[in-house]
Amino acid sequence: MPLIEVNNLKKRYSIDDLETPALQGVSLDVEEGEFIAIIGPSGSGKSTLLHILGFLDRPTEGEYKFEGKTIDDYSEEELASVRNKKMGFVFQSFNLLPRTNILENVKLPLMYSDISEKEWNSMAIKAIESVGLSHRIGHDPSQLSGGERQRTAIARALIMNPQIIFADEPTGNLDTKTGDSIMAIFDKLNREEKHTLIIITHEKEIAEHADRIIHIKDGKIEYDISTNNHKK
């Protein structure tokens, strides 16, 4: 059974009685352990699809199953629980709390979990170590480079050891060299630690890290190809 099953997904936004289609019949499966890049021009529906897959939004029509269960079968409380325990999120803008140090930023998802507070520090330190930021643990985001901020965001996404990590333009605010170092972390998370990864990007070089590239245009999948990276 695929981790994710999407069938004829549609999403429309209504503004002042004007309907704008964002997704127009998207169908795809995602197997556990896959590394997928979703690419396409601005406004093509990439982020809308990611938000629906990550339970941050709901489709207007169509079916979305996560672990064999449709999104409509989950209560709001269950959706929040799955998001917290099984999904990690990394965004282009980092989304870090500005006056809170790295350790406290990384611990944030634990505040919405049932994990004992006694374990929070050790779990956060382990996640921070995994992205090579132990030497910055007491620093605030304003004291960090863009790459270090994104590493912090990745550590936060990892802290609950999620099945799947969603990343929306994770290298969009970074220079090429820093972006490469961030992608090396994602490669390791997928190849060695077996996290399922779905990354949105408009950069061809970033997409080529994935096993599979899905190109979206005007809310529809234009092509879905394998890169054979898993054989490397």
Convert the pLDDT of each residue in 66-119 to its tens digit: 999 999 899 999 999 999 999 999 988 888 999 899 999 999 999 989 899 999
Is the pLDDT reported for residue 40 higher than 80? yes
**pLDDT for 102:** 95
* pLDDT computed for residue 231 by the predictor: 45
Please report the pLDDT score of residue 92 as a whole number: 85
Mutual angle of helices 120-130 and 146-158, in 10-degree steps = 130
Q: Which of 48, 85, 59 lies closest to 168 in space, CA to CA?
A: 48
What whole-number distance in Å separates Cα of residue 200 and Cα of residue 165? 11
Tens digit of each residue's pLDDT (9 = 90 or more) over 162-212: 999 999 999 988 899 999 999 999 999 999 999 999 999 988 899 999 999
User: Does the reported pTM lie above 0.75?
Assistant: yes
In angstroms, the CA 152 to CA 125 distance is 11
Looking at the domain that runs over 35-55+81-231, which CATH code has it been given?
3.40.50.300
Where do the structural domains in the chain lie, given as residue ranges? 35-55+81-231
pLDDT at 16 (0 to 100): 82
